[in-house]
Every structure is written in C-alpha cells, then in structure tokens.
Structure 1
Amino acid sequence: MTENHQAPPPPPPDSGDRGGAAPGRPPTVADVLALPVLTAGQPQVVTGVSGLDQPVRWVHITELTDPASFLKGGELVLTTGMPLPEEPAGVRRYVDELADIGAAALVIELVRRYHRPPDALVHACRARGLPLVTLAKDVNFLEVTQVVHALILGNQAEVMRRTQRVHEAFTALTLRGAGPEDVVRAAAEMSGHTVVLENLVHQALVCEPSGHTVEVALTGWEQRSRATPPADRTAVSGPESWLVAPVEYQGERWGRAVMLPAPPGPGVTRSFGPEDVTVLERTAMALTIARLIHPTPWERVAHRNVLRDLVEQRHLSPADAEARVAALGLPTRDSRFVAVLTDVPREDDTTKAEALLSDDLRTKGVQALTGLLGPARLGILLSLRPDQPWRPVVEQLGRTALGVTPGAAVSVGGATTDLPEVARSFREAIRVAEATEPGRPLPAGRSYHERSDIGLRSLLFALRADTRIQDYAERRLGRLVDHDTAHGTDLLTTLRHYLDAAGNKTVAARHGGLSRETVYQRLRTIERLLDCDLESGGQRTELHVALTALDVLRAR
C-alpha cells in the first residue's frame, strides 16, 4: 500500500513563480512542489513525507542509470522513468545511490513509460526514506529548473544581503562602544529569538526576550545551562537545542552567548538557520570587544540593572523578577529579603565601596546583590534564611562600610519574604536615608539607621525642601530672627532654652547663664514680637516645631 499524499496547494505567488520559501532560506521540497510550474503536473507524494522539509540546493534532470555520479547532495532529481532498470535489484541500487549522495527527492513523471510508480521503486524509496513524488501530467522539466534555480539564487542573494546587514549592524555597535545590553538587544531583534549572556558559573547577566517572557526564558536557568555542554564554536547544544557561542576575554573563555529556540506554536520552526548562526557569532565577537573597552565587570553591571528594576518596579510581572534575580544566583525561595542603602560622602568613593562591600559579603557567605543606585548611593539586597536574624548582618555591613568610606551612612528598610515587596523595603530605606543628617551620630551600639530612628528633627530634615516647612518656620519665627539681627540681641537662644526646659523658667535661666528676671523680661519681649502665649502648651509645641525646622534649614 503506497502513501499517496496530494502535494500542498501553492500559496498565492508574490512575484512570478516564487514559492513559499521564506526570504533568506533555501526552498524545501515542499516549497518546490508548491510552485505553479510543478502543481500543473498534479504531484503526489508517494513516500518520504517526513523529508519534505529538506532544503533543495539544485535541480537535476537525468535519464541516466547512474545519476548519483553527477550529484553533490541536496538536488531535486527529475526523471521520466525511462532509465529505470527492470529488475528490482537494479532499482534498489539506483535509489541507494541517490540516497547515499543525499538527494533531496526523486520526482518521476508518469506519462511516457509508467502510469503508476513501480512497486520496486516505491519499496526502495520507502526503505531509504527518500521522498518519491509522481507527476500525473506532462511537465516542462527545463522550465522547472529555470524557476527553481531562480528561486534558489534569489534566496542566496537575499542571504548575502541579510548577512551583510548583520555584519554592518554589529560593526556599527562596536564602533560606538556599545555595552553588553545593546549588543544582546540587537541580536534578539535581528534574529527574532531570545538571547542570553551568561558567565562561566552559569549566571544569566543579560536577557533580551523575544517570543518568550523573562520567566519562561530564565526559570531554572543554572540547571538548564549546566545540562547544555559548552562548544568551541557556534553550535546547537543540549537537550533544549540551544544555539551557543563562546565569549572570550583576553584570550580566555569568559562566558557564552545563548540563543533560545522559538517557543512552540502554529507554523513556528524551532530550528536555527544560517543567519541565526551568523548573528550569534557576531554577537559573541562584539561582546568580546565590548568586554575589553568596558572596564566595569559585567556581573556588577547586571546587579546594578536588576536592583534598579526592582526598586523602580520595572519588571513585567513578579514571576519575571524572580526568574531574573534567581538567574543571577540569588536565592529567591524560602528567603527573607532586606534592603540596605549606603550613602558615601564623595562620589569618587562609590565604585570602590561597591566592589569592596560586594567582595566582603561574598567572603562572609552572605547572599546579596550590590549595585549603584545613584552617584553616591549603593543599594544592597540581602537574601537571608527565614530563621537568620538580619540585624547582625546589617550591623557587620555597616561597620565594613564605615571602614571602607568613613562618614558613610547606612540605612535599612523592613524585612520581607516576598520579592515583589523589595521595592517597599527600598522605599523605607530611602526615607530613612533622606531623614539622616550628614554627620549625625549613630544610635548607640549600631552602625546603621532604621525607620524607628526617625524623630521630629529627622522628619523635618527629610521635608526641608518642602516650601510649606520653610513658610511655617518663617511665619512663626521670622519676626524674632529679624529683631535679633537688627538689635544684636539673642532672643532666639533664650526661646530655645525655655522650650527645651518644657516652660521651666528657672531651668532656662540656668542653661542660658542668665538671671530669672532677665529671662522673664526676654520672654515677655518674645511674646510681644510673636503675638503668642508662652504659657500655652500647644503654642510652645508649635514654636518648638518651628525652631527645629529652622535648625534643619540652617544646617543645609
């Protein structure tokens, strides 16, 4: 029983007799059979349906008994059947030679010698998996060769043009000093595949998804990557059929670029074409050059980018964020996260502090991401065991920061077990940092500041740029300050001593080194100038807030 399959109907022609081959790739047997010049012969696929996706390199017309001696592989062989031997052994030899040389398919016209394919031919082609196609009507073989060869040559020219565009694009990236993110993004856009840059310990430093989400691309990355053997050149590797290319640095392998197959879907091919190989080869080359001209270690750059995305909540989904963080080697399951900020006095010290703190945490076995969040600000995301106290870790981190950059201020946010809540933890740390005056003494027994340290003065310091705070201080105390300036008095200090003493005039006099009578006189003058009643607890509170606001505004 033969496998009779009508060839697929031809697609609408786009120009002349061009078939369904995608631009830039060789036509397959199925593409050629869909050409009008062949569909006119009513082709039927008798055997080898699974081989219809084989590329056709050329078309060969033959009436010889040994056509294989003139072939190089990949040819679509056209024959009227006239040279076929009568005996089955000769037919098997004929088919074996075609299959051994790698012919793409055998097309036989059933017009002159045969009206049905010989059983021996069908059995021999089926045994070797060689596609056998019959034509029920007369076809002009010369016209077939002209059309198919024009299609092949046109695709080859398109491949050359596309390859040239790939080379030009990566050359332009290299000349403008593009970083790894730019290079990987360009590779994904040109190929239509997800592209990942990883280092030697299988940490995904850059991921540019195309067709995948970050979650799908990076979930379980280290285990999947370790199952994909390295290759000395660009090649398909591993159980998921990744296309991989080594990336070098100063003559040694540094990591690799990975192109993931397209996700399954209708009409989607998961195989890689020659252009994909070219794109990934040029990607690896551009990354090698970028590694030479960008001195900052790319692991550090990756940490910075992920931290900024977490702080600014730029991930598409919580699952994407978790996959990206885990792909950098930070535990995300059964972990407790703590956000820490380190503000250094001089911007020039930030990069040094970033490197030293990162190395110190790694040496102590603390899992963390460390990266710049601003010109003089470092962000640190600690990933701790759920039962591990975070205060000793942050205390040690604060002491290290002070040792590296004296005058550094370390602020910490609240702990959370939910990675998406890390942004909230960083916001809390930012509020603490904003409320911490430069040079402010550390709390007793601590090397860091936390939210519970924010008192009235700290709150007003954080809000000092708000014009409402400035207006309030000026409305309540401006006349008193103007009087002191105009008359050379120091009533503001007397008011401070009185308020600090909670309205006790005797204590205020002692603190100011004045007699009680002098204090009484000055307080009456203050009441007159400010139109207030200093015996009122509420008004004293308002003045105390205004005086504290004035102090932090002057501290700027």
Structure 2
Amino acid sequence: MDNRTDLWTRRTGENHTLPPRLRLASTGTLTYGLPVGEVLGVSTLADAELVAGASGLDRVVQRLNVMEVPDVLAWVKPNELLLTTGYPLRNRPAALGHLVTGLNERGVAALAVKPGAYLDELPAEMLARADRLGFPLIQLPEHVGFDDILNQVLTDILNRQAAILARTEEVHRALVQIVLCGGGLCEVTEELAVLLGCAVLTLDGDQRVLARAGDPGVLRALEGWLDGRPGPGLHGDRVVVPVAAGGLGHGLIAAHFPGGDLSDTEVGILERAATVAALVITKQQAVAAVESKYRADFLRDVLAGRAGDGARVVAHCAGFGWDLDRPVAVVVAALDLDAGSTDDGTAKQAQERLAAAWEAAVRRRDRSAAVAAFAHEVVAVIGAPAGEALTDLVGGLVREVSAADSLVFSTGVSRTAATPEALPGAYDQAVKAVRVGRQMHGPGETAHFDALGVYRLLSLVEDTAELHAFVREALGGLADDADPEAADLRRTLQMLLDTNLNVAETARRLHFHYNTLRYRIGKLERLVGPFTEDPHLRLNLNLALRVLRMRGI
C-alpha cells in the first residue's frame, strides 16, 4: 500500500488501493477511463494480441463502438475502442492503412480486428502505419464475441468512475464538515495536503496566497512557478483548479506532486475542494460586508456627532483597530463620474474599487487609520503629521490610488482635528474642499480646506439663499445664466478684475480690439455701476462672481 493509500485508509477507514493514474488526452485535459494496456488485461481479451502500435498503450478508452459501415470515420468519437471484423472493407484491404490514419486523427484509442471470416491477415501497410503513429492495433481471437468485450470493458470503466465518485464525495463531505465546524481556508488547505500527500496553495483572484500547506521547499517552488500565471489545468506534476461561485472567479487552488503523476481520485478531490473553498470565501465575503457596513455606520455617526463623547468614541474605535486619540485629518475621496457612467451597477462597482484601493493605500501608511466607504464617497481619518508632511502624505495616497486604477476622483482634506469632538467639523471641511476643488478646477482635483482662500469663507455661509440674493443684487441682469450675452459680459468683467483693470492686457487675453473692450466697459458700468472708480464695488463684484463659480455648494 503506497503512502496516499495509507492516508486514505486512516481518514476514511476504507482499505482501497488508489486507482491507476490518469492519462492526458490530445487536448491536454484529464480523461477518465482505462488505458489500452489495462483493457488488454481483461479476461475476454486474454488471448488477444497487440500486433502494432505498442507505444500507444497509454491511450485512454472511455467508450466502445463497432464498425459496421465503410465510412465509419464520420461516426467515431475520441477515446473509443473500435471493434471490427473487417467486413465493411473486405473488398478493399488497401483502405485499411488509410483507416488507421483517419482513426488516429480523430483521437480513437485503438482498433481491435477479428480476422478470419473476411480478412485472412492484416496488411503490412496497416501494421506499419499503426507502429509509426503509435496507434494500438489489436488482433482478436475468433472465439470471443463483441458483446462479451463490450460488457466487460464498459463495466470496468463504470466501476472505476463509480469508485472515484464515491471517494471524492466522501472527501467532499469531510471538507464541508471542517467548514461547518468553523474551519477556514487554512484548515481546508491543510487537510488537502495531508490527504493527497502534496503541497497545496490557495490563492485569491489576484493570485495572492491565502493559505498554504505542505513541504516548505516545494511550496516555494510552486509559488515561483505560479508567478508565470499558468492557466487552470494539468501541468505535469502540478495542477491548477479554479475556485468559482455564482459565475464569479474567486481564486485558484494549486497542488504540486513532486516526482509523481496525478491520479483521477486526486483530481476529483481538488475539484471538490475548490467548491468548498468557494463556499468559505463567499462566507468570509458576506461576513466582511456586514462588518464593513457596521464600521462605516459607526464612523458616519462619529462624523455626524452622534456617537457620544470623545472617550466612548476612542474606546469603540480601538475595537476596530482605529486610533482616534491623536491629531488626525479627515480625507474624503469622491468619484467624478461622467454622464455616460451613471448606470447604478457601474457606479457601485466603481465605488467598491475606489474603496478597496483607498483602504489598501492608507493601510500601508497608517495601520491605525479609520477607512470606510459611504454611499458616494470614501472617508479616511488618518494621523496628521505637522506642516507640509500632511500635504505630502495625501499626495502620495492620491497618486497610489490613481495608479492602481483608472478611476477619476476628487479629494478634499480637512484641517487637523485635535480631539474626536472636532471630527464632525473636520468632515464638513473635507466635503466642502471636495466640492470647491471640483468646481474651481474640474475632476481629479485635490483640495485642502486651508488652501481655499476666499472660497473657504464663502463655503462657511450656510444660508445659500442669502448668497444667491447677494449675487443678484451685485450683478443685476448679469446673473442670468439663461442669457448668453450676460455670460459673455461676466467673462469680460472677471478678466478686467483679474488684471486689475489693465485694459490692454484684458484685450490681449480676450482677443478683443482695444476700442471694443472700451465699449464693453461702458456697457458693464451702465449695468452694474462705476466699478472702474469704486474699489468697494469691485470687491462686491469679485465676490459675486466667485459665488457664481461655487454654485451648488
């Protein structure tokens, strides 16, 4: 009894020998059945003689067929053992050589011929071709009936497959029991390594190792081989099986059998183990989703000032691994979705990707930071270093997340919050920084609340109706967005204010003739007043134009 058989006996209490090894079909995939060499060992073929193609004895027989018509090539299937008396080609013995070539091209396992009644002997050309192609050619004794061969060989194939299914089902139940008793991927992987006597790795969708078991040296070799990203399937003494559930790929299970081949039982166990691993992963994802929602809900309460006093917030966050008992800054990242990307499913996937990328980037820099995904933004509460170091820290985070994904997002950074009680205000500052930065500079902007200048003051005005009333009073008819001429005149007015009323420079920037600009200045003064002479009026106009640019805030 070999080592794997002994392991099976200890695990199941059954004393079976493991079935012979599988062979590879021409496609490179595993096939269940009997090699031609074993088929020749059944009792009904005891007197049969292999007359050619001895190098093909490892071809796998999965089914049997009888040749009754000359054009049998249209009806044969791969891995068949074809039986014939030669009757269909009795008048064309030369065609038997071409028959061997055609059967070999279609993946037939072997051809068994019963000469005598219609063929005195097999042609030399037929034997030569069979030897050249490694196609087994079997000469049957006259006293053996085809029905006896069919019954016995098919029975052996079915018994083999039934034994494989019974054993893999037993292992499947054992692995499921591990999960039901609270075991995870580590326990499932360790059980596989013991049952199969090999090294096993369980990997996620990005081929990061989730669990490992087996000889450390073999595991290192297997990991190095997996760096080449081999696809699922059999690769010599290694096999890779996909872990999938619900049409989604969750990773891979890879096994390495140094110096050995895979058996059909082992492959079946790995496939069943992949199903169990998918169950574990989906369970972990469900638990993680619930925990993530709970953490996000609590952080939302903290940022809204509903989580209680500072001591309670610090203690509760410590249970999540968050340290808020230190100077921190709130960073808000919000997706910039264009009009063509408003589909709910697409937006949700993008939000999940952004959250995962931000959490990974933040964790690498500050393991005690709080990170959570809200409905339309990702919020991070990170330790705030002094001075420009915070700007550098956030800049590095934004660059890393942007490089990891093609998503475009705007980022807002608050002032430093010294205590948990200051976090609601800091969150409000970061949200406003996102909105102002996006309005001022477009998508993908990173804005710090302290660097917003006058926009910071304007954003602190909570009564937006009062702001809009101020705009209408200062600009009058120029505040009308529906009037293209008003919008054009506002642009001229803004440029004049930006150049400190330098008419020549304004005309150059707007590509106007000098006299055209003088005419426009006169028109503007009739609409809003003598701004070229009144500095207080210029201040009001400048503020009104800034408020217009902040519309929606």
TM range (shorter): 0.3 to 0.5
Quick check: which one's helix share is greater?
A: 2
What TM-score do you get using the length of structure 2 for normalisation? Answer: 0.43
